[in-house]
Structure 1
Amino acid sequence: MKKQEPGGIVLILLRPFFLFKQKAPLVSYILGRLFTMAVMLFMLGLAVFGLMELAPGDIVDRIMLQQIFGENQIRPGQNQQIMDLEQLAARRAELGLDQPFYIQYFHWLSRVLRGDLGTSLISRAPVSFLLASRIFNSVLLNLLSLVLITFFSFVLGVYFSTKAGTKTDLAVTFFALVLHAFPGILMLILLQLFASVTGLFPVTAYPPFPFAEAPVRFTFSYLHHVFLPLLAAFLGGIGGTLRMIRATMLDQLGQPYITSLRARGIGEWRIYFNHAFRNTLNPYITGSANLLAGLFSGSLILEIIFAYPGMGRLMYEAVLQEDINLVLSNIMFVSFLVLLGMVLSDIILALVDPRIRYGKG
């Protein structure tokens, strides 16, 4: 009997995979992207644990310093004992901080796979509870920004592509370039100063009362409070998106098929919206994942400056306090949303453009 070569054994083992890829290319592509996303999240979490390990001190040192220099300082006649070295070592062992960072990471990962995100090392509250109280606020703010940027970018981009070369088009292109290059943190600070000086808008981005107390009043108050942060996110994102859509429309309008449609007597607005506009969707769908990632990363500064109770501000506070469980859960969740957005953009791109067929040569 002829001995099977190792390469042949590998091909036999991979044959079901190739057959499945041929029969369902899009499904296999999605599964491959999900697997890649899981690997990237794993590597990201390991890197975060390693970077937190390089930071000087840890949560136990911070607790000891709070006892020494905190508000509850030692007073004459007050019997208050500072944690000694043995207590510090016991506390580190209790929290698992005496182990290498990769061991800590695998312990955290095993808990996450069982549905337990752990507890905050500072507040001792469940991390899942802290995240649940902030997720909706951040997702709502970023989705509102994305919808506004998308709508106005398409409307203005398509309109000004019909005015190419005019003074109005040059002015809009110039201002779009300025907005694209303008530092986002400076715009947030200027809007914060505008709200403080004029008093037309609150300097905070969230109402001072809960939604359950007065739902209707809360909705209008929320829109009033969040107007300036939304304006900052909108101005920061529309510049690049508007320029991209305008450039794509101009490129499509110069294609031979547009000349053919015009020769057949088809109306200009029908050419714009039924033909050229559809082909501008592809680059936008591809870039929307990067736009969403930019919004989430930019919301960190936004939430700090405008005191918005979102995940960005929660992560900022957790980093300052070196609360590793809360930091890692925040980063992993936001990274998951961004990577999921990239996968969804690829899937939508395949559904919108019939020319794209993943897995077929």
Structure 2
Amino acid sequence: MEKFAEKLSFLFRPLLSFRAKFPLLSFILTRLLTMLVILFFLGWALFALMALAPGDIVDQMMTQQIMSQASGTGGADRSNTKGLDEKQTAALRAEMGLDQPFTVQYFKWLKRVVVNHDLGVSLISRAPVSFLIRSRILNSVVLNLISLVFITIFSFLLGVCFSSKAGTKTDLAATFFALFFHAFPGILLLILFQLFASATSLFPVTAYPDFPFSEAQGRFVFSYAHHVFLPLLASFLGGVGGTMRTIRSTMLDQMGLPYIMAIRARGISEGRVYLAHAFRNTLNPYITGSANLLAGLFSGSLVLEIIFSYPGIGRLMYEAVLQQDVNLVLANSMFISSLVLAGMVISDILLAVVDPRIRYGKE
């Protein structure tokens, strides 16, 4: 037993030595490896869920074909149609590889992605999946980044402001409205905004201009801002409440700590106490939760894109799930999950940068 332990420690000695010399790099590599493992099992689980769903894309295609044939012929011979249906269904499943177990399908897809860097083609439109994602992902990223920037700026401004007025009527009113909009159903808020846009005609009922960016860049920017104002306002109201309360509570906790009283006793101005000392320590919980906030924005943008007809990745995912387009669903899910996991890794690195007390690998 002791010899086995010695051999095991000998094998792991280079890893431990590397971790001791490069603690932060070792931490980043570990998180990246963990991210790859999570993505692997996530893809397998998605294939399993799609396999458990009743029917598949071939059933939908054949049903639509039979309905069109029946409507065109006024009710043809059902027995011949059924036999033709079964033969075509088997041929299509074999052509798309859907007749194999989902684990085999997943490993074939994984091999094609890793080795050939090919995400495959959509089973419905027959267009390359990479092209469909590229045409939509930029719209979703821009929308969510704008929302994240506004939520971050106003959350810090309002959180710091109301923490200095704790217990006042202004603070109580702000807390009430923050809780109200945080608890208000986001889908209902989006529907109400769309009804407002339809009734007043002040804003478009869709969230994207009806002409491309290449046609007129300047006019597109103003038109885009006009179209996305209401969806962004709904996203802002739903996200700023919880983040603002987190910043406010963290600031209040910091202001009651002994080091703040020591700084005040040295005669430092109250503004500097707030901004230069207490404010910096409020970054820690926000950076930790920023990855979850980004994930929530991406998941919430699914409903936004459907209601306001925004051509983003969420709407593409919704259409792919309805049509059971396995290649498109898996590529979308893996791409969004990669963004969220990468955001978590980046938040951990930023946390080590902004907080000098955190030193990975040091005692």
Q: How high is the TM-score relative to the length of structure 1?
A: 0.96
1:49 corresponds, among 30, 35, 47, to 47
* 308 and 67 in structure 1: CA distance in 2 versus 1, 3 angstrom threshold: same
Q: What CA distance in whole angstroms lies between the structure 1 residues aligned with 2:66 and 2:99?
A: 23
Structure-to-structure mapping, 1:139-178, within 5 angstroms: 139-178=141-180
Residue identity opposite 2:231 in structure 1? P
Q: What CA distance in whole angstroms lies between the structure 2 residues aligned with 1:176 and 1:124?
A: 46
Q: What CA distance in whole angstroms lies between the structure 2 residues aligned with 1:85 and 1:157?
A: 63
Instruction: Say yes or no: does 1:63 pair with 2:65.
Output: no
Structure-to-structure mapping, 1:43-192, within 5 angstroms: 43-70=41-68, 73-75=71-73, 83-113=84-114, 114-192=116-194
Give the corresponding residue for 2:251. 249
Q: What CA distance in whole angstroms lies between the structure 2 residues aligned with 1:65 and 1:86?
A: 14
Q: Secondary structure at the match of 1:5?
A: helix
How far apart are residue 354 of structure 1 and its match? 1.2
Per-residue CA distance 1:19-72 (angstroms, 9 max, x = gap)? 000001110000000000001011111001000001111111111011122499
- Answer whether contact 1:67 1:73 (CA < 8 A) is retained: no
* 32 and 71 in structure 1: CA distance in 2 versus 1, 3 angstrom threshold: farther
Q: What CA distance in whole angstroms lies between the structure 2 residues aligned with 1:235 and 1:72?
A: 51
Residue identity opposite 1:55 in structure 2? A
Q: What CA distance in whole angstroms lies between the structure 1 residues aligned with 2:63 and 2:239?
A: 42
Give the corresponding residue for 1:203. 205
2:343 corresponds, among 338, 341, 351, to 341
Structure-to-structure mapping, 1:343-358, within 5 angstroms: 343-358=345-360
1:33 corresponds, among 20, 28, 31, to 31
Give the corresponding residue for 2:217. 215
Per-residue CA distance 1:229-258 (angstroms, 9 max, x = gap)? 100110110000000000000111111111
How far apart are residue 83 of structure 1 and its match? 4.2
How far apart are residue 74 of structure 1 and its match? 2.2
Q: Unmatched 5+ residue regions in structure 2?
A: none
Q: Secondary structure at the match of 1:358?
A: coil
Q: Unmatched 5+ residue regions in structure 1?
A: none
Q: What CA distance in whole angstroms lies between the structure 2 residues aligned with 1:298 and 1:70?
A: 37
Moved more, 3-12 or 57-66: 3-12
Q: What CA distance in whole angstroms lies between the structure 2 residues aligned with 1:261 and 1:7?
A: 52
Moved more, 3-12 or 155-164: 3-12
Q: Secondary structure at the match of 2:72?
A: coil
Q: What CA distance in whole angstroms lies between the structure 2 residues aligned with 1:117 and 1:239?
A: 39
Q: Percent identity?
A: 70
- Answer whether contact 1:204 1:308 (CA < 8 A) is retained: yes
1:23 corresponds, among 8, 14, 21, to 21
Give the corresponding residue for 1:277. 279
Give the corresponding residue for 1:231. 233
2:12 corresponds, among 3, 11, 14, to 14
Q: Secondary structure at the match of 2:7?
A: helix
Q: Secondary structure at the match of 1:29?
A: helix
Residue identity opposite 1:29 in structure 2? F
Q: What CA distance in whole angstroms lies between the structure 2 residues aligned with 1:89 and 1:346?
A: 49
* 226 and 72 in structure 1: CA distance in 2 versus 1, 3 angstrom threshold: farther
Give the corresponding residue for 1:259. 261
- Answer whether contact 1:64 1:83 (CA < 8 A) is retained: no
Residue identity opposite 2:180 in structure 1? V
How far apart are residue 359 of structure 1 and its match? 2.6
How far apart are residue 325 of structure 1 and its match? 0.2
How far apart are residue 173 of structure 1 and its match? 0.8
Residue identity opposite 1:111 in structure 2? R
Residue identity opposite 1:248 in structure 2? T
Which one has the bigger helix percentage? 2
- Answer whether contact 2:178 2:245 (CA < 8 A) is retained: yes
Q: What CA distance in whole angstroms lies between the structure 2 residues aligned with 1:341 and 1:253?
A: 30
Q: Secondary structure at the match of 2:73?
A: coil
* 295 and 208 in structure 1: CA distance in 2 versus 1, 3 angstrom threshold: same
- Answer whether contact 2:62 2:85 (CA < 8 A) is retained: no
Residue identity opposite 1:282 in structure 2? N
- Answer whether contact 1:64 1:82 (CA < 8 A) is retained: no
* 71 and 285 in structure 1: CA distance in 2 versus 1, 3 angstrom threshold: farther
Q: How high is the TM-score relative to the length of structure 2?
A: 0.96
User: How large is the Cα RMSD of the aligned pairs?
Assistant: 1.8
Q: Secondary structure at the match of 2:361?
A: coil
Q: What CA distance in whole angstroms lies between the structure 2 residues aligned with 1:71 and 1:223?
A: 46
* 14 and 253 in structure 1: CA distance in 2 versus 1, 3 angstrom threshold: same
- Answer whether contact 1:68 1:82 (CA < 8 A) is retained: no
Residue identity opposite 2:5 in structure 1? G
